[in-house]
Structure 1
Amino acid sequence: MDLTDLSPSQTQSTVTLKNGDQLGSDNTYNPFEHRKVVHPTSTIGSFFHLLKSSLGSGLLAMPAAFKHTGIIPGCLGTALVAVIATHCVHILVCTSRALCEENCVASLSYSDTCEKAFKNGPKRLRRFSIHIRHFADYAMAGVCLGGTSVYVVFIASSLKDICDHFFPHHTLTIKAYCGIILIPLILSTQIRHLKFLVPFSFLANLCLLATFIITCYYTFVGIPSVGSEKLAVGVSQWPLFLSTAIFAMEGINVVMPIENEMANPKHFLGCPGVLNVTMIFVAALYGIVGLFGFLKYGEEVKGSVTLNLPQDEILAMVAKILVAVAVFFTYCLQMYAPMEILWRRVETRLTAHLHNVGQILIRTISVTLTVILAVAVPDLELLIGLVGAIFFSTLGLLIPVMVESAHKWDRGLGLYFYVLWKNVLLLLFYLLVLVSGCYAAISEIVNKYKTV
């Protein structure tokens, strides 16, 4: 629409677009005014949603992460990862909002933002817009599938710890427990509607909360004296800390849905803002748990600090049972998003009468793949490092940097091109995490299992 063709009375009031939305008196589109959310989320509710997405089994892995750096680098590294993760979320949301204004749409999803950034970006990149969308979708699915593989090992390790206590003469390997839980996991992921998963989410949150309280009780009591060997360790193990911390803190896959459904989305960014408050709280909590868990158990700390709790006390055993139940129910919740992504790719290729069978097969095969990966790398600590280095860093670091760079390339990269230089540094950090994290994790895996 050419605004010069409008009468003065029209330009002084509003402009009606083809989709029925209107421009304001200054001829700018405000996406916040056009979002029609049936059940908008309050600012406090959005804070708890974002907090929930960032807190999970990764919190219990932070003491093991500190083992790879020591106290001082661990604390500094936790703060660094939190700042970088927060900044990447910030630039993704800012880019999405700018694209909403430019395209006169109320909201954009993560994948939509990636596609629009390239479609509206430099001419040479526009033909890649659909490819970057597919890349983002597959990265999202990879994060969920890789994360659920960690959940499989988490559940299997907890079950082994519990059963070894009650049945000491009939011990099984973690791989065996991965196979045992395959059928229950397949059945749980056949639930196809999110509303039916709400009770499982509620139960999982209660179990995680109780587990966290019990774990803190054991972790913060009887801490031994701090030796110089705990202050810092060799840099060769630092990559495993970075990939584990990124796995633990990264919740960018749920950021856009949360921001898009806020009653007052202006409260998401800024100072204090939902994002900043949440990430400060998350970074502090992860740092405290990682620090005190490492101080308590030292080099003996395991991939989940719950595995270090005593086996001969009822309260500790309750925590181990609760965390196994919580992660089991969280598994089916985390599989919901990748199943939707994969089904959209397959649905149009099947006739209507095969849709039900297709859904069952896709879900069954996907769960089986996560169990196979868990069996291949049954070490919780190393699997977290590998998944964090490959999938979580790609979704949380690489893609936001690419999206912001493509969007701002023709619109200005700031004074002295600071946006470009900043994104180059972030890209180098991503490559550091990817290469060093994969190398460290795979090297440890080979060394650990080459004699098996």
Structure 2
Amino acid sequence: MEEKTETVHLQPVAEPAKDGVPASFADDEDYDPHEHRQVNRPTNDFETLVHLLKCSLGTGILAMPQAFARSGLITGIISTIIVGALCTYCLHVLVRSQYDLCKRLRVPLLTYPESMSAALTRGPPALRALARPSALAVDIFLVVYQLGICCVYIVFIAENIKAMVDDYYVMDVKIHMVIILGPLIAFNCIPNLKILAPFSTLANLITFVGLGIVLYFLLGTEKKSQTPLDLWGSYKTYPLFFGTILFALTAVGVVIALENNMKTPKSFGKPFGVLNVGMTFIVLLYIAVGAIGYVFCVEKCSDSVTLDLPQNSWVAMSVKAMFAVAIFISYGLQCYVPVDVVWSGYLRPRLLQSHASQPKLVASEYALRIALCLLTFVFAVSIPRLGLFISLFGALCLSALGICFPAMMEMCLSWADAGATGRGRMRRLKDWLLFIFGIVGLVVGTATALLAIVESFM
């Protein structure tokens, strides 16, 4: 997103509780948060849909052929539809819960961590002590996920550059990572999203053109492998598929920002609104790339489908260069999120409390940007496994951010509305099932990815 929306920070609840529900959460049907939002240059429905689509076309979709190789063709198609529907539903739950909390608190906007904290504050008594830690947990998962994306991007850029230059001079992929480190740090030190906006537009254009060329090669080139297709896959590798598909489909932070920045936010979650239309198109596109890429490569699918294109074609080589440039630009945009969370939420307030001077504040922010860039570089060099990185961070972070936390928020809101009675029992049961499913996906997917990473070094 090019524009940042203004966020009202939630204050601690101090009013006495009544019937187990804090008084400050009293309903007020006259207050509509959407009417009180002040957004600079809000987007219309079509612009929001375009933003949603372009934010979903990155390394995740390029890893779909390998994901299908781990799940099997039929299992991959069915599972992508199911997981896509589940992710879309959980995003609806998250947006709906945030709106309800804003309405009750009489504020126009709440961040994801603030919403999580507010929901637990009004939930069952046993969960209220977790209100403040839950906000920290959301921030941690967001930061880890975004830094994980940056690690994936470094590996992706280096592997595609290596594929382009190996015919002329062979170097280890880690050497390529060292070469791009300086430019990455310099690009990550750009502090303003407005400056990054033109680069973002260029990256989006390159990505769309590159993806079209990739599909052209997959459909018009002789198959890379003649091995029979695996239709059903194996339960042993399925968790890796699950992590990859979550990484590709679940854009929690993007969805919240898009809905917050809309001119007509009520149309976002309608049956034929932006979210459903966008996610339907995204799921179909991911199935197309995954299935076509898997039929082309079968068991020889690389971590990114760009690495499976013919080496003797200048057009295929240009696609690698295009995606390398696009992902390089996107690195600065993705790293902006953890920098903003850590700097604005934690580091800057502490420095202001210590009466730090303006030069020290500026130096500290740049030091943070460089440190986070170096951190992602160290992880990428230590574990240069693109596909496994995608599965790991998808299972670890997005199972929590995209499934567990939204289910818990709705569960707490439903409990508060029904009190200790049986009203809303089916909704709470559904939320418990979603939460358990997310936890299982997190544990099994993360463990499988970590085990695969360890085995890859043996």
TM-score by length of 1: 0.90
Give CA deviations for 1:152-191 in whole Å, capped at 9, x if unaligned: 1100111111110232xxx111222222211111111101
Indicate the residue corresponding to 1:449 in structure 2: 457
Structure 2: distance between partners of 1:32 and 1:445 = 45
Task: Report the more deviating stretch, 116-125 or 342-351.
Answer: 116-125
Equivalent pairs counted in the alignment come to 423
Aligned CA distance change for structure 1 residues 27 and 78 (closer, same or farther; 3 Å): closer
Indicate the residue corresponding to 1:43 in structure 2: 45
Query: How big is the shift at 1:379?
Result: 1.4
Query: How big is the shift at 1:89?
Result: 0.5
Q: Which aligned pairs between 1:9-158 and structure 2 lie closer than 5 A? A: 28-158=30-160
SS at 2:167's partner residue? Answer: helix
Give CA deviations for 1:388-439 in whole Å, capped at 9, x if unaligned: 1112222111211121112221213986712222122222221232222122
Q: Gaps spanning 5+ residues in structure 2: where? A: 1-26
Q: Gaps spanning 5+ residues in structure 1: where? A: 1-22
Structure 1: distance between partners of 2:362 and 2:110 = 29
Structure 1: distance between partners of 2:423 and 2:164 = 59
* 1:51 counterpart letter in structure 2: L
Structure 1: distance between partners of 2:205 and 2:387 = 24
Structure 2: distance between partners of 1:193 and 1:414 = 50
Give CA deviations for 1:45-103 in whole Å, capped at 9, x if unaligned: 11111222222221111001000011110001101110111011000011011111111
Give CA deviations for 1:102-148 in whole Å, capped at 9, x if unaligned: 11112222222112212333344334322211111121111110111
Indicate the residue corresponding to 2:245 in structure 1: 245
Indicate the residue corresponding to 2:182 in structure 1: 183
Query: How big is the shift at 1:347?
Result: 1.2
Structure 2: distance between partners of 1:296 and 1:415 = 52
Indicate the residue corresponding to 2:193 in structure 1: 194
Q: Is the 8 A contact 1:146 1:391 kept in 2?
A: no
* 1:203 counterpart letter in structure 2: L
Q: Is the 8 A contact 1:73 1:232 kept in 2?
A: yes
* 1:309 counterpart letter in structure 2: L
SS at 2:107's partner residue? Answer: coil
Q: Which aligned pairs between 1:265-280 and structure 2 lie closer than 5 A? A: 265-280=265-280
Q: Is the 8 A contact 2:119 2:413 kept in 1?
A: yes
Indicate the residue corresponding to 2:442 in structure 1: 434
Say if 2:391 is the partner of 1:391: no
Structure 1: distance between partners of 2:256 and 2:449 = 31
SS at 2:310's partner residue? Answer: coil
Structure 2: distance between partners of 1:392 and 1:432 = 12
Q: Is the 8 A contact 1:55 1:249 kept in 2?
A: no
Say if 2:358 is the partner of 1:357: no
Give CA deviations for 1:216-269 in whole Å, capped at 9, x if unaligned: 111112465987542122211100100000001111112222111211111001
SS at 1:272's partner residue? Answer: coil
Task: Report the more deviating stretch, 225-234 or 109-118.
Answer: 225-234
TM-score by length of 2: 0.88
Structure 2: distance between partners of 1:384 and 1:59 = 11
* Percent of residue pairs identical: 37
Query: How big is the shift at 1:27?
Result: 5.4
Query: How big is the shift at 1:284?
Result: 0.3
SS at 1:231's partner residue? Answer: coil
Aligned CA distance change for structure 1 residues 336 and 416 (closer, same or farther; 3 Å): closer
SS at 2:237's partner residue? Answer: helix
Indicate the residue corresponding to 2:411 in structure 1: 405
Q: Which has the larger radius of gyration?
A: 1
Aligned CA distance change for structure 1 residues 112 and 223 (closer, same or farther; 3 Å): farther
Q: Is the 8 A contact 1:99 1:117 kept in 2?
A: yes
Query: How big is the shift at 1:443?
Result: 2.0
Structure 2: distance between partners of 1:120 and 1:374 = 41
Indicate the residue corresponding to 1:419 in structure 2: 427
Q: Is the 8 A contact 1:47 1:278 kept in 2?
A: yes
Query: How big is the shift at 1:331?
Result: 0.2
Task: Report the more deviating stretch, 421-430 or 365-374.
Answer: 421-430
Structure 2: distance between partners of 1:43 and 1:280 = 16
Q: Is the 8 A contact 1:310 1:316 kept in 2?
A: yes
Aligned CA distance change for structure 1 residues 268 and 414 (closer, same or farther; 3 Å): farther
SS at 1:235's partner residue? Answer: coil
Indicate the residue corresponding to 1:329 in structure 2: 329
* 1:295 counterpart letter in structure 2: V
Task: Report the more deviating stretch, 339-348 or 293-302.
Answer: 339-348
Q: Is the 8 A contact 1:153 1:374 kept in 2?
A: yes
Structure 1: distance between partners of 2:113 and 2:222 = 46
Structure 1: distance between partners of 2:311 and 2:110 = 49
Structure 1: distance between partners of 2:102 and 2:450 = 42
Cα root mean square deviation, aligned: 1.9
